């Protein structure tokens, strides 16, 4: 297990020397800048300390330990601090925030105030990229649209990640990834044929995809700037960015006038194809059979001679036509097997299969452990914990996590003085006026966190 303390920049990483300002919330924007930071960019989170930015550090929903335990027992763990202890700085202990904030810096700056906007515009002079994923009207109200910023820094690349776009009738609509996926039909498609869309739960696939796509287009824009010297604005709505993943269904309707309907765990030709119960409480395995030879191997592994000889299941087409009955019968055989042992046996037999694992099991995955995927980071306010590591391995550029998630305003003094040129006196005035700092004022916090307590 690799442990990382705070270290200097990595000059061997491809984005070393690239400075990125981030006004990001929830997941899509933070995930984008997480990837850019992992590739070596210096990512500076711009976040207020005199106001609470919703859907960021979780400071708008701080709760005492007893309430957090009750919430976790009901499956709500996004604000489950380490040991369920909010501590004196719960905004620095929020797992939702910390999961994507490694390798980043934090600059206390409220773009909605005159002092904050002045500092932000100074920052724009120094950075290469600005990433934001707010409602378009937020950026307009702050007076920091691309038309304004390009006059300050013509080489600036500004990535905007609204839900539906910077124009059109839905421009100002607020949405998270789950609402976008509902709007474009993804929730409907991944629902179950005999169910309703609300039974699918929240996956936030659009957010995850947007983060990776956003990092990719930023690097492409940097390449374009290297060739031309020109910066530009990139508009990447979550809805339009994710729609390409549904191209098969859109084209099927355009070409064949067929409405796909909810897919659940089904496949358009494979059978069996789904998740099946295994030994134990709520234990499952995913199995996908694409051809007759795999079907035979599956039946042999399960010692399911009756299935193999059943005339309704002898061919791929007959299995597909009778897939409901097939899945019911197959479950009677899988349920007596340990999911991990069956997974190994089916893989050896050439059958595509995988155990359904929970988060605790994932941390013990022999595959991920062998590859050193999880890495430890040590933080003075969080402690030492494992984090998901770098998502790609480059043969000539080994990479690891470098720094833990930043505390609120942790790098303000460094950025204001060294990067923006503020004097000691100017920075002290901002500090005394509450424009910078490392904690929110008492009137924004629950009483048990007040400084007088």
pLDDT score at 130? 98
Q: Which residue has the higher pLDDT, 452 or 49?
A: 49
Q: Which residue has the higher pLDDT, 351 or 11?
A: 351
Q: Are 208 and 31 in contact (CB under 8 A)?
A: yes
pLDDT score at 8? 53
* Structure confidence by residue, pLDDT tens digits, 62-117: 988 999 899 888 877 777 899 999 999 999 999 989 999 999 999 999 999 999 99
Q: Is the pLDDT reported for residue 237 higher than 90?
A: yes
Q: Are 130 and 423 in contact (CB under 8 A)?
A: no
Q: Which residue has the higher pLDDT, 453 or 173?
A: 173
Residue 89: both structure tokens together = 């700085």
pLDDT score at 3? 45
The whole-angstrom separation of Cα 163 and Cα 174 is 7
Q: Is the pLDDT reported for residue 4 higher than 70?
A: no
Q: Give long-range contacts, CB 8 A cutoff, 24+ apart: 64-73.
A: 64/446, 64/448
pLDDT score at 359? 86
Residue 301: both structure tokens together = 């592994």
CATH superfamily, region 2-243+372-449: Crotonobetainyl-coa:carnitine coa-transferase; domain 1 (3.40.50.10540)
Q: How confident is the model at residue 200 (pLDDT cuts 50, 70, 90)?
A: confident
**Residue whose tokens read 């490694």:** 102
Q: Can you give the residue ranges of every domain in the chain?
A: 2-243+372-449, 273-363
Q: Reading across the β-sheet that carries 375-379, which strands appear in turn?
A: 2-4, 375-379, 383-387
* Structure confidence by residue, pLDDT tens digits, 375-397: 999 999 999 999 999 999 999 99
Q: Is the pLDDT reported for residue 251 higher than 80?
A: yes
The whole-angstrom separation of Cα 390 and Cα 407 is 21
Q: How confident is the model at residue 372 (pLDDT cuts 50, 70, 90)?
A: very high
**Residue whose tokens read 């905004």:** 91
pLDDT score at 75? 79
Q: Which of 345, 330, 358 is nearest to 265 (CA)?
A: 330
CB within 8 A of 133, min separation 6: which ones? 24, 25, 26, 28, 29, 32, 160, 161, 162, 210
pLDDT score at 9? 67
Report in angstroms the alpha-carbon separations of 447 from 10, 60, 78, 90, 452.
42, 13, 22, 13, 9
CA 227 and chain centroid, separation: 31
Q: Are 156 and 125 in contact (CB under 8 A)?
A: no
Kindly report whether the peptide bond that precedes residue 272 is cis, defined as omega within 30 degrees of 0. yes
pLDDT score at 5? 45
* Structure confidence by residue, pLDDT tens digits, 5-62: 445 567 899 999 999 999 999 999 999 999 999 999 999 999 999 999 999 999 998 9
pLDDT score at 269? 93
pLDDT score at 446? 93
CA 440 and chain centroid, separation: 26
Please give the model's pTM, rounded to 2 decimal places: 0.92
CATH number of the domain located at residue range(s) 273-363 in this protein: 3.30.1540.10
Residue 422: both structure tokens together = 């503020």
CB atoms within 10 A of CB 2: 12
Report in angstroms the alpha-carbon separations of 35 from 20, 102, 104, 239.
12, 10, 10, 21
Name the average pLDDT for the chain: 93
The whole-angstrom separation of Cα 47 and Cα 92 is 13
pLDDT score at 451? 82
Report in angstroms the alpha-carbon separations of 55 from 25, 30, 47, 407.
6, 11, 12, 16
Q: How far apart are the first and last CA of the chain?
A: 39
- Interhelix angle 292-302/323-334, rounded to 10 degrees, is 30
Q: Is the pLDDT reported for residue 141 higher than 90?
A: yes
pLDDT score at 41? 97
Q: How confident is the model at residue 196 (pLDDT cuts 50, 70, 90)?
A: confident
The whole-angstrom separation of Cα 57 and Cα 94 is 6
**Residue whose tokens read 């269904």:** 249
pLDDT score at 371? 96
Q: Indicate if 273-363 has the same CATH topology as 2-243+372-449.
A: no
pLDDT score at 453? 60
Q: Are 189 and 260 in contact (CB under 8 A)?
A: yes
Phi, psi torsion values for 337, nearest 5 degrees: -110, 145
Residue 376: both structure tokens together = 């430890």
CB within 8 A of 18, min separation 6: which ones? 36, 40, 41, 42, 128, 129, 222
b/e for 159-185, b at 16 or more Cβ within 10 A? bbbbbbbeeeeeeebebbbbbbbbbbe
pLDDT, mean of residues 273-286: 97
Flag the least confident range among 38-47, 243-252, 271-280: 243-252
Q: Which residue has the higher pLDDT, 331 or 176?
A: 331
């Amino acid at each position: 297990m690799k442990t990382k303390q705070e270290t200097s920049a990595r000059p061997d990483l491809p984005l070393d020397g690239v400075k990125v300002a981030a006004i990001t919330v929830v997941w899509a924007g933070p995930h984008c800048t997480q990837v850019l930071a992992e590739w070596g960019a210096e990512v500076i989170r711009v976040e207020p300390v005199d106001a609470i930015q919703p859907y960021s550090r979780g400071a708008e929903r701080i709760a005492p330990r007893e309430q957090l335990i009750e919430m976790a027992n009901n499956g709500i763990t996004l604000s489950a601090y380490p040991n369920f202890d909010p501590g004196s700085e719960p905004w620095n202990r929020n797992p939702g925030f910390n999961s994507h904030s490694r390798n980043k810096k934090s600059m206390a700056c409220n773009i909605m105030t005159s002092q904050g906007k002045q500092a932000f515009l100074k920052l724009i002079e120094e950075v290469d990229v600005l990433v934001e994923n707010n409602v378009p009207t937020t950026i307009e109200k702050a007076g920091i649209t691309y038309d304004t910023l390009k006059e300050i820094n013509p080489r600036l690349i500004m990535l905007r990640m609204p839900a539906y776009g910077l124009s059109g009738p839905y421009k100002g609509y607020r949405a998270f990834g789950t609402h976008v996926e509902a709007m474009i039909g993804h929730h409907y498609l991944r629902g179950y044929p005999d169910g309703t869309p609300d039974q699918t739960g929240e996956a936030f696939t659009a957010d995850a995809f947007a983060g990776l796509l956003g990092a990719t287009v930023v690097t492409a824009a940097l390449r374009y700037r290297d060739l031309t010297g020109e910066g530009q604005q990139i508009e990447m709505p979550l809805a339009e960015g994710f729609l390409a993943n549904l191209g098969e269904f859109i084209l099927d309707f355009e070409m064949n006038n067929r409405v796909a309907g909810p897919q659940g765990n089904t496949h358009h030709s494979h059978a069996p194809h789904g998740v099946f119960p295994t030994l134990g409480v709520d234990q499952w395995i995913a199995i996908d059979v694409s051809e007759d030879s795999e079907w035979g191997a599956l039946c042999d592994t399960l010692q399911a001679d009756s299935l193999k000889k059943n005339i309704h299941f002898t061919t791929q087409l007959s299995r597909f036509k009778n897939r409901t009955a097939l899945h019911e019968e197959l479950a009677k055989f899988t349920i007596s097997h340990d999911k991990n042992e069956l997974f190994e046996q089916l893989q050896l037999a050439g059958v595509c299969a995988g155990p359904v694992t929970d988060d605790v099991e994932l941390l013990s995955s022999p595959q991920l452990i062998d590859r050193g995927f999880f890495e430890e980071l040590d933080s003075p306010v969080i402690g030492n914990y494992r984090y998901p590591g770098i998502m790609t391995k480059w043969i000539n550029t080994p990479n690891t996590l470098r720094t833990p998630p930043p505390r609120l305003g942790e790098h303000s003094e460094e950025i204001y003085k060294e990067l923006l040129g503020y004097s000691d006196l100017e920075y002290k005035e901002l500090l005394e006026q509450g424009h910078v700092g490392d904690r929110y004022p008492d009137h924004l916090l629950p009483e048990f966190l007040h400084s007088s307590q």
